[in-house]
Chain A
Amino acid sequence: MSIVEVKELRKQYDPPKGVLAVDGVSFGIEQGEIFSLLGPNGAGKSTTISMLSCLLKPTGGDATVAGHSVVSDPQAVKETIGVVPQDIALYPDMSARENLVFWGRMYGLSGDELKRRVDEVLELITLVDRQKDRVDKFSGGMKRRVNIGVALLHKPKVLYLDEPTVGIDPQSRRSILDGILALRDQGMTILYTTHYMAEAQELSDRIAIVDHGKMIAVGTHEELVKIVGEGARVSARVDHYLEGMAERWREVKGVEKVEIEEDEAVLLTEDPNEVLPRLFEAAATAGSRITEINVTEPNLEMVFLHLTGRALRE
């Protein structure tokens, strides 16, 4: 049985005429898995997490976390989860340590256990040296780390991370992503929401693509890109006579399709590593020189485009 089971979850604000933010979403998350909800802003990712955090009551369906229903037993669910909200939710006039101590108490920790866990989390988020500094003096990345640290204090079985890398520098993002992978390796189950395709692709064991409150696809990265039904795209430019070169490339073994788009030829192939040397060889034989060549593997952006007709960032 999955540690998180979501069944026909639904949320409509101000029913019956209000916005339908989540429309009958169902999925399961296995123990120790990173499961990502990928979708554009307004797709319903944060609303889904809010319902799974018992912050919002569903208007339909239910979900269980470690066997506890978010509808009928929210208190037990809250003891099981750690929530990292999208925006920094800390007390800026308190130090990092004071924040962790306060939130630890809210998770029911006290005494030596609280002190030990605060020390461990400070180590984990690498802020031991700055623990006595007020949070409002921290950089965006440091605040993000404290924000995540708060949710780890009570060692939750399931960690929800709602777009935790929004608005931070690449170095801090890298640090956070590495930290999440390390948590997964320690056996923690993670529900991650993002609209960054690369993050979802790098982190996730499985990905659910959501749009307009509905789940439109779910699976591993490999399973999802197969939905597109295409191989890699190779786009190439030559120094002269593009049309003649395109005709020759159609004859190359492994090339499935060739089209001319403006001043470049776009080729589809299942195995670009095998095909690329043949393309150069054909060009040399024809007396042409390849001036630029790009290979694009099928990705989640293409999957989203294929499924919705829109780019993920639109």
Chain B
Amino acid sequence: MIKILAIAWKDLRSTFRNVPALVMMLVAPLALAALLGFAFGGGGGFDIAATKVVVANLDKGGAEAGQSAGAAIQSILSSKDLKDVLETSTKSSAAAARQAVDDGEAAVAVIVPEDFSAVVYGSDPTATSQVELYENPTSEIGGSIVEGVVGQVLADFNGARAAAAGAVALRSDAAGDPAAAQVAGTAAEQFTHAGGVSAGLQISQRSPQAGATEKEVSVTGAILSGMMIFFMFFGAANVARTILTEDRDGTMPRLFTTPTRHGVIIAGKFVSVFVTVLVQAIVLLIAGRLMFSIQWGRLDAVVLLTVVAAGVAGGLALLVISFAKTPAQAGAIGSGVYLILALLGGNFTGTAQTSGVYGIVQKFTPNGWLIEGWDTTMRGGGALDIRWQLLVPLGFAVAFFLFAVLKMRRRFA
């Protein structure tokens, strides 16, 4: 044990005397997190500037008084629920609305045609009408939001029209049955009236894993957790690379001539790697709290996540080293592996995109699980809530370490 600690202490002393390595381990992740945090609006949540929308409602209304599907669209776009993301104004004509976009006054123009209500409330199920979205191509986010909202409204209208058509058909078929004809008639009446349709319209906002009692994750916190894991990989690699440096410089072969077993030497190296990244993580967590007021979450979860992340970084670093022959080769292989893992695991995107194929791919990386764990922890989750986000990366760490030890024992036999 004394020998393991002696080897670890010797490496730690060298590492913490190495100024460029310290900059890479501590300053770079903080600087990147600060930079990206400010770029995305700093502390609380992803603040996206409200998209300016102009609505030209040319709709002349339905056959009956009060029927105006165009007004329904306008009302939803101006609703309170969307005021943080859409700033809506009106124009009297389609040309004026388009001109507002051309002049940069608005990002998107929504033009409701004259026959819109006539088609929505009309009895002809094959009739069509098109709402025009005229948008500035550079405003991708704003355009997508408006497109989503309007598309949702139109989908509801189309659903109502289909239901009404069905009810009308049913009423015709049930002509011989007065009771059935009465029910179908009432349904058709309701579906073909604006009140019945607009009352069912709703905008649903998706918020990943966010319940009413969950805390909001700060942008800087989300970024720094990803950066921390990413740079922990590099921090671990710096120390693990000393195995190859020592092999090249002759101190490793000399260690093998002393009565010190190979397993003890490798264990000493792992301890130094593990402690280095643990110190790195602790410094970054404290700096994140002091500099960016990041609420990392409950202590039990934070401690366990940090320890597991250090284990993953250490195991992975040793695994990479076991495949390389020279320190330069280790640097090249390591950088590639860490970058690919970071891209696949979501170190640069956080949990903003965890659905679909990308979400599945993230599950194949230890950092993907760790990032998810940090997200849950920052939302107030405890150790039990992130048990899988701890156990799976721990499994990765153990597998990496065992494979690395096997490979190194063969190499230095």
B249 within 8 A of A: yes
Alpha-carbon gap, A100 to B257, bound state (A): 15
- Asked whether, in the complex, the Cβ of B259 is within 8 Å of the Cβ of A75, the reply is yes
* B 1-35 to A, binary, CB cutoff 8 A, 1 in contact else 0: 01100100010011001000000000000000000
A85 within 8 A of B: yes
A110 within 8 A of B: yes
Alpha-carbon gap, A83 to B253, bound state (A): 10
Interface residues on A, range: 20 to 34
Alpha-carbon gap, A98 to B255, bound state (A): 15
B129 within 8 A of A: no
Alpha-carbon gap, A226 to B51, bound state (A): 102
- Asked whether, in the complex, the Cβ of B10 is within 8 Å of the Cβ of A83, the reply is no
With A75-B261, A79-B259, A90-B251 in contact, do A105 and B3 touch (Cβ < 8 Å)?
A: yes
- Asked whether, in the complex, the Cβ of A89 is within 8 Å of the Cβ of B14, the reply is no
Interface residues on B, range: 20 to 34
- Asked whether, in the complex, the Cβ of A102 is within 8 Å of the Cβ of B10, the reply is yes
- Asked whether, in the complex, the Cβ of B14 is within 8 Å of the Cβ of A93, the reply is yes
A residues less than 8 Å from B257 (CB atoms): 53-55, 78, 81, 83, 85
A residues less than 8 Å from B254 (CB atoms): 83, 85, 89, 150
In chain B, positions 194-216 with a C-beta closer than 8 Å to chain A are: none
- Asked whether, in the complex, the Cβ of B250 is within 8 Å of the Cβ of A88, the reply is yes
In chain A, positions 81-121 with a C-beta closer than 8 Å to chain B are: 81, 83, 85, 87-91, 93-94, 102-103, 105-108, 110
- Asked whether, in the complex, the Cβ of B258 is within 8 Å of the Cβ of A107, the reply is yes
Alpha-carbon gap, A54 to B255, bound state (A): 11
- Asked whether, in the complex, the Cβ of A89 is within 8 Å of the Cβ of B250, the reply is yes
Q: How far is the CB of A90 from chain B (nearest CB, A)?
A: 7
Q: What residue in chain B is nearest A93 (Cβ atoms)?
A: B14
With A91-B10, A91-B14, A106-B6 in contact, do A85 and B253 touch (Cβ < 8 Å)?
A: yes
- Asked whether, in the complex, the Cβ of B250 is within 8 Å of the Cβ of A85, the reply is yes
- Most chain B CB atoms below 10 A, which of A91, A93, A103: A91
- Asked whether, in the complex, the Cβ of B258 is within 8 Å of the Cβ of A89, the reply is no
B92 within 8 A of A: no
A residues less than 8 Å from B413 (CB atoms): 57
A residues less than 8 Å from B255 (CB atoms): 106
- Asked whether, in the complex, the Cβ of A91 is within 8 Å of the Cβ of B259, the reply is no
Q: How far is the CB of B248 from chain A (nearest CB, A)?
A: 10
* B 168-206 to A, binary, CB cutoff 8 A, 1 in contact else 0: 000000000000000000000000000000000000000
Alpha-carbon gap, A115 to B250, bound state (A): 25
Alpha-carbon gap, A103 to B252, bound state (A): 12
Alpha-carbon gap, A134 to B17, bound state (A): 13
Q: What residue in chain A is nearest B242 (Cβ atoms)?
A: A91
Of the candidates A87, A93, A103, the one whose C-beta lies within 8 Å of that of B258 is A103
Alpha-carbon gap, A91 to B252, bound state (A): 11
Alpha-carbon gap, A83 to B257, bound state (A): 7
B residues less than 8 Å from A89 (CB atoms): 249-251, 253-254
B residues less than 8 Å from A108 (CB atoms): 259
A residues less than 8 Å from B259 (CB atoms): 75, 78-79, 106-108
**Pairs across A and B, CB under 8 Å, 30 listed:** A54-B257, A55-B253, A55-B256, A57-B413, A75-B259, A78-B258, A78-B259, A79-B259, A81-B257, A83-B254, A85-B250, A85-B253, A85-B257, A87-B250, A89-B249, A89-B250, A89-B251, A90-B251, A91-B14, A94-B13, A94-B14, A102-B6, A105-B2, A106-B3, A106-B255, A106-B258, A106-B259, A106-B260, A108-B259, A110-B2
The 10 closest A-B pairs by CB, nearest first: A89-B250, A89-B254, A106-B258, A78-B259, A83-B257, A105-B6, A79-B259, A53-B257, A87-B250, A89-B251
Q: Given A87-B249, A89-B253, A107-B258, list of 5 further CB < 8 A pairs? A: A57-B413, A83-B254, A105-B2, A106-B255, A110-B2
Which A residues contact B (CB, under 8 angstroms)?
53-55, 57, 75, 78-79, 81, 83, 85, 87-91, 93-94, 102-103, 105-108, 110, 150
